Amino acid sequence: MSFVTASVNTEKVNLLNFDRKGLVAFFVDLGEKSFRATQILKWIYQEDITDFNQMTNLSKSLRAYLNEHCTIIAPEILLEQIASDGTTKWVVEMGLGNRIESVFIPEEKRGTLCVSSQIGCALACTFCSTAKQGFNRNLSVAEIIGQLYVAQKRLGDKKRITNVVMMGMGEPLLNFDNVVAAMNLMMDDFTFGLSKRRVTISTSGIVPAMHRLNAVCDVSMAVSLHAANDKLRDELVPINQKYPLKDLMNACREYANLGPRKHITFEYVMLQDINDSIQDARALVKLLKNVPSKINLIPFNPFPNSDYECSSIEIINRFKDILYKAGIVTTIRKTRGEDIDAACGQLVGKVKDKSRRHLKLQAVSSANAT
């Protein structure tokens, strides 16, 4: 099945923008029964039908209305790159010269899709290449779920996507409503049917949104931590200046205490001589006390004009041993897709920066050089 690209029928209502709750409201407003939502979900996501005329259990009049007023628009894959380790990166067109990237990571017993939530990112984390591009806009529900939609079709039946991580370009919790709706679609029994434990949302620490998420969506959570004290984290993850570690840890404890066996995964990028000392490891142990935790240590992935280097494997292993001996489950993330710039922190796409932050950064760089 080929999909209509975003340049066609843009004034029509894109049904990929609705989760089940949204579709129910849409059809009820039309005077239709609420079960039409389930029928549409099954046609689109299970039967691979996007032509309303082929949706035979809909009335003739409803099909005519949908043809006139609605459409099903999936994002368009412009470029596919496959790394030596089998990791696949797709560059996806988002219109007006903007592109995002999503990445599929195959493993023996699972396949993980890394999905973007924004075009660019506004958070300016200093070790992330995405942050260097600035920010353009939030992605719509259709553009988020569409990444999973087109990726699975490109992969076919031989490679199944079993896990989704909202760890691509952007800060998911700054696009709250669209991300939640897209995750609801991922977990719906009539779409992809993913377990809530196989859908993970990553955040740099948007504390009010973390509290809000508790009430509306139960998925796994990963927190981009990267430092165990406010002074360093203010530098590496500037949003910490607004939501410091004390507030972040309280939000993490609240989220983790919602259900049995629930924990927070903390992401910690290993930066040589920045956050990788014995003292940093011990401070991290102290910080995470009473927070059900797993830690992913991420070897830093270099990118052009980066100011950092990756910690040595000896230092990373020493760091891991300290955490492990303190009773914290700790893994070292295997770098995947590095040869196609698909590794963690390397996604760049193509962003028309509305924030103009790249100009500010260039001015600061020029001033420092003189």
68 among known catalytic residues: no
* Residue of 114, 252, 310, 344 marked active site: 344
Which pLDDT does position 356 carry in this prediction?
55
Task: Please tell me which residue in 32, 76, 93, 101 is annotated as part of the active site.
Answer: 101
How high is the pLDDT of residue 364? 41
Hey, how many other C-beta atoms are within 10 angstroms of the C-beta on 197?
Answer: 12
Q: How far apart are CA 172 and CA 166, in angstroms?
A: 7
Give start-end residues of each CATH 1.10.150.530 domain in the chain: 13-71
How does 208-234 read in b/e, with b if 16+ C-beta sit within 10 Å?
ebbeebeeebbbbbbbbbbbbbeebbb
- Which residues lie below 8 Å from residue 107, measured CB to CB, with a gap of 6+? none
**Does 344 participate in catalysis according to the annotation?**
yes
301 vs 45, which has greater pLDDT? Answer: 45
pTM: 0.88
Per-residue pLDDT, 201: 97
CATH code for 13-71?
1.10.150.530
Q: What is the mean pLDDT of residues 221-236?
A: 97
pLDDT for residue 124 is more than 90: no
What is the Cα–Cα distance from 13 to 68, expressed in whole angstroms?
A: 10
**Residue 84 has which token pair?**
């030596």
Give whole-number Cα distances, 24 to 19, 21, 142, 324, in Å: 9, 5, 17, 48
Per-residue DSSP letter, 234: H
What is the tens place of the pLDDT at every residue in 18-27? 999 999 999 9
Higher per-residue confidence, 106 vs 342: 106
* Contact assessment for residue 351 and residue 133, using Cβ atoms and an 8 Å cutoff: yes
Residues 6+ apart with CB under 8 A from 259: 218
pLDDT of residue 132: 75
Which residues have CB under 8 Å from 321's CB, separation 6+? Answer: none
- The average confidence (pLDDT) of the chain is 88
Q: List all residues 6 or more positions away from 115 whose beta carbon is below 8 Å from its beta carbon.
A: 102, 144, 147, 148, 164, 165, 166, 167, 168
Say whether 341 sits in a helix, a strand or coil: coil
pLDDT in tens, 129-151: 877 778 889 999 999 999 999 99
In the predicted structure, residue 9 carries a pLDDT above the cut 70: no
Termini Cα distance of the chain: 57
Q: Cβ atoms within 10 A of the Cβ of 340, count?
A: 19
Residues of the chain within CATH 3.20.20.70 domain(s) are 76-361
Residues 6+ apart with CB under 8 A from 211: 251, 254
Res 343: pLDDT: 47
**Residue partners of 232: CB distance under 8 A and separation at least 6:** 274, 275
pLDDT of amino acid 98: 87
Q: Mind listing the pLDDT tens digit for each residue in 64-111?
A: 999 999 999 999 999 998 988 889 999 998 888 888 989 999 998 899
DSSP secondary structure letter of residue 204: S
Q: 188, 280, 209: which is closest to 251 by C-alpha?
A: 209
DSSP letter, residue 350: B
pLDDT tier at 352, thresholds 50, 70, 90 = low
Give 347's pLDDT tier (boundaries 50, 70, 90): very low
* H runs (alpha helix) in the chain: 20-29, 36-41, 60-69, 141-155, 176-187, 207-216, 230-236, 245-256, 278-287, 313-325, 357-369
Domain topology for 76-361: TIM Barrel (3.20.20)
Burial zone of 38 (CB within 10 Å; 0-12 exposed, 13-18 middle, 19+ buried):
middle
